Chain A
Amino acid sequence: MASSATVGDLVSQPYKYGFVTDIETEKIAKGLSEDVVRLISAKKNEPPFLLDFRLRSFRQWLQMEEPDWATLGHPPIDYQEIIYYAAPKQQEKKASLDEVDPKLLETFEKLGIPLSEQKRLSNVAVDAVFDSVSIATTYREKLAEHGVIFCSISEAVKDHADLIEKYLGTVVPGNDNYFAALNSAVFSDGSFVFIPKGVACPMELSTYFRINSGDTGQFERTLIVAEEGASVSYLEGCTAPMFDTNQLHAAVVELVALDDASIKYSTVQNWYAGDENGKGGIYNFVTKRGQCRGDRSYISWTQVETGSAITWKYPSCVLQGADSVGEFYSVALTNNRQQADTGTKMIHVGPRTRSTIVSKGISAGHSSNSYRGLVQLGPKAVGARNYSQCDSMLIGDQAAANTYPYIRSQQPDASIEHEASTCRISADQLFYLQSRGIAFEEAVSMMVSGFCRDVFNQLPMEFAAEADKLLALKLEGSVG
């Protein structure tokens, strides 16, 4: 029989991406030192400027302290116990998919990301990253016809070194914060996107990150550049096997939008969250920032965060160009012992810049879910506007929801609005829906997707249904 206690049980859906692919991997010895940084750079045949960037970042990291201001708790991370480079054994990136290890293709197919020509998604180009290495990127030729570059960052370092040198580390500097510095020193792979002047990218771009090894840290680096008048929509997805140890994931994403450019960046994060007692799961410490460098440029972050034992993530926009626009739409679902401290920073520098923040936190079980957001208006941000809305939904009576909005304004001629609300799925609401013939699970799912609708509407069409399904999966289950 339905009751609010069983709503809690509902959220405990077994994780279905928890398998491990048995594949031969090349790993370096665990531990971190300057030699390890040099070794990673050498393995990737990097030009000197990149080794310099890594070494500078590493030296700064050594001087830094792990941040402790977030509403998160975890045992200390031993950075010498982590392996900083792991790659499935295959010599070179393959020119054709036929040469990629079928086990890898099979893995991605199992994850719902078919890469082979017959099966791949017809309107989405995919870069598939397995542990530290990009194994395949689809539709490259078609994109190249439009001048769009979409490849792994390692390839970009080889083939487009000038662009990498020009943009890498310009949005998130090597010493930005503890985890960004660590990433800058040891980053392995990730995606590079370049949309030249005036080009609207003809298809959705997407990177799929798969962690496979149990003792390896994940340090991807993504860089997206949209030149004047260019536009692109990009989506990343993530899964990992179930291990009873924790894996560290410290990624950096940088976005650059020049005059009139637009970048829409969406994330569906479903790393392994640990078991119901909080054993295992990914520690997700991620730095994502976009710079609206040009006038009238636009950057939008949409995230659906359902996995990870710990999420520490604040996708931000630096609104430098006049009339530029930043958006942040977020759904964060935590269950069991998961902890999330996530939000955004909207830094208004230029005049008449606008930002919108819509955050939806859902906490179930014994989890803790915090929104932390900064809205900052500088002295030149005349006529700037911000609207923030932070809603929390509690399921059961053991979960916690917090909202920490920070507002700093040096601009008297600006408008800042902040709205916050907290609600609970009540037994009476569920009974009302049930008494109209709607099954208990569907009733919960209807209410949760209703709560998240403002955010799901922002996802690319192909993925909005996916996100809905993912939440439903997390919320379906044990009630029979």
Chain B
Amino acid sequence: MIRPDAPVLLEIRDLTARVEDQPILKGVSLTIRAGEIHAVMGRNGSGKSTLSKVLAGHPAYTVTGGSVHYRGEDLLGLEPELRARAGLFLGFQYPVEIPGVSNLEFLRVATNARRAGKGEEELDTFAFEDLVRERLLVVQMDPAFLERSVNEGFSGGEKKRNEILQMALLEPLVAVLDETDSGLDIDALRIVAGGVNHLAGPDNATLLITHYQRLLDVITPDYVHVMAAGRILRTGGKELALELEERGYDWVDAELAALERTPAEVG
């Protein structure tokens, strides 16, 4: 839902970043307002996953320039846990397994950390159980998953559902979902997308990072951005995604090549 007067939640300006000595992001700018759903599309290696990791504060990525403001405040100076407590959420493409740490306990500690960030009081074990059982419905997850270790032995689809469950509990203001559709069969995709749609509201925003149109068939974006070689090449409405689907990414290459011939025109 686009409302020009809605508050800006995330403001990315000329962001550049590298992994080890390899520059990946080469000047990304993006403004996200409350209520909006954005999709970033692009080929493998275009930098779209890096963008999500940089936003969440992954230690392997070094920001070399530009700025990111979250609700008007500098985001990049914050430790990852403080970004999460402030309401930024990253849904992982490959959620890691953490043997020995109970999923329920993990969800409770995370939820309480986020609540502390909002100035709300901690939930005790019982209150949390009530909450988690209610939120399980959003992703149609079996309560048995709560008793297992975090993501341990979960199938690809179960891991993604667990991500959306976390999102449902943490109630983020900006959710960055990195390739949430990858590895999902059509039923799981529908459940996950249903969860995301359910959680999207006028006060929060969603940034979908995806490869394919099929996720955007079930979650309708307000904006589509095409990313290539660490830059956003083009921004449009949902029809841009359909165009990509139809024409493939080859025209992106042509446009990129043109861009690199005339670097002065960038921006």
Contacts and interface: CB of A to CB of B under 8 A. Distances in A.
Interface of A: 1-3, 423, 426-429, 431-440, 442, 446-447, 449-453
Contact of B79 (A423, A434, A453): A434
B109 A446 contact: yes
B81 A1 contact: no
A419 to B, nearest CB: 13
Contact of B80 (A2, A428, A447, A450): A2
Interface stretch (B15-23, B95-103, B121-129, B227-235): B95-103
Given A2-B59, A431-B58, A438 B100 contact: no
Interface string B89-109: 110100110111110011001
Interface stretch (B110-118, B131-139, B182-190, B245-253): B110-118
B100 A432 contact: no
Given A435-B84, A436-B170, A450-B100, A427 B60 contact: yes
Interface string B156-199: 00000000001000100000000000000000000000000000
State the 8 A-B residue pairs at the shortest beta-carbon distance, nearest first: A450-B100, A437-B113, A436-B110, A437-B84, A450-B101, A434-B80, A437-B85, A434-B81
B98 A447 contact: yes
A393 to B, nearest CB: 9
Given A427-B60, A435-B84, A437-B81, A447 B96 contact: no
A188 B63 CA distance: 63
A446 B101 contact: yes
Highest count of chain B CB atoms <10 Å: which of A1, A426, A451, A452: A1
Interface residues of B, number: 31
A212 to B, nearest CB: 38
Given A427-B59, A427-B60, A437 B117 contact: yes
Given A439-B81, A450-B101, A451-B100, 19 more contacts: A431-B56, A431-B80, A433-B98, A434-B80, A434-B81, A435-B56, A435-B83, A435-B84, A435-B90, A436-B110, A437-B85, A437-B114, A438-B81, A446-B109, A447-B100, A450-B98, A450-B99, A450-B100, A450-B149
B57 interface: yes
B101 A435 contact: no
Q: Interface majority SS on A: helix, strand, loop or mixed?
A: helix
Contacts of A426: 96
A426 B80 CA distance: 16
Nearest to B116: A437
Contacts of A433: 98, 106, 110
A423 B99 contact: yes
21 contacts: A426-B96, A427-B59, A427-B60, A432-B92, A432-B95, A432-B98, A433-B110, A434-B79, A434-B80, A435-B56, A435-B80, A436-B113, A436-B166, A436-B170, A437-B85, A439-B81, A440-B81, A442-B109, A447-B101, A450-B100, A451-B99
A431 B100 contact: no
Given A429-B96, A432-B95, A432-B96, A438 B110 contact: yes
Contacts of B80: 2, 431, 434-435
Nearest to B114: A437
A429 B80 CA distance: 13
A75 B199 CA distance: 64
B170 A437 contact: yes
Contacts of B170: 436-437
Best-buried of A431, A434, A435, A450 by chain B (most CB within 10 Å) = A435
Contact of A453 (B84, B95, B100, B109): B100
Contacts of B83: 435
B70 to A, nearest CB: 14
Contacts of B56: 431, 435
A433 B109 CA distance: 10
A7 to B, nearest CB: 11
B96 A1 contact: no
A446 B110 CA distance: 12
Contacts of A446: 101, 105-106, 109
A475 to B, nearest CB: 14
Contacts of A434: 57, 79-81, 84
Contacts of A1: 57, 59, 79
Nearest to B105: A446
B96 A428 contact: yes
B97 to A, nearest CB: 8
Contacts of B106: 433, 436, 438, 446
Contacts of A428: 96
Nearest to A2: B59
A431 B81 CA distance: 9
A3 B81 CA distance: 14
B237 to A, nearest CB: 30
A59 B106 CA distance: 58
A440 to B, nearest CB: 7
A438 B99 contact: no
B49 to A, nearest CB: 13
A469 to B, nearest CB: 17
A450 B105 CA distance: 10
Given A431-B59, A450-B98, A453-B100, A436 B149 contact: no
Contacts of A449: 100
Residue from the set A433, A437, A449 with the largest chain B CB neighbour count within 10 Å: A437
A449 B101 CA distance: 8
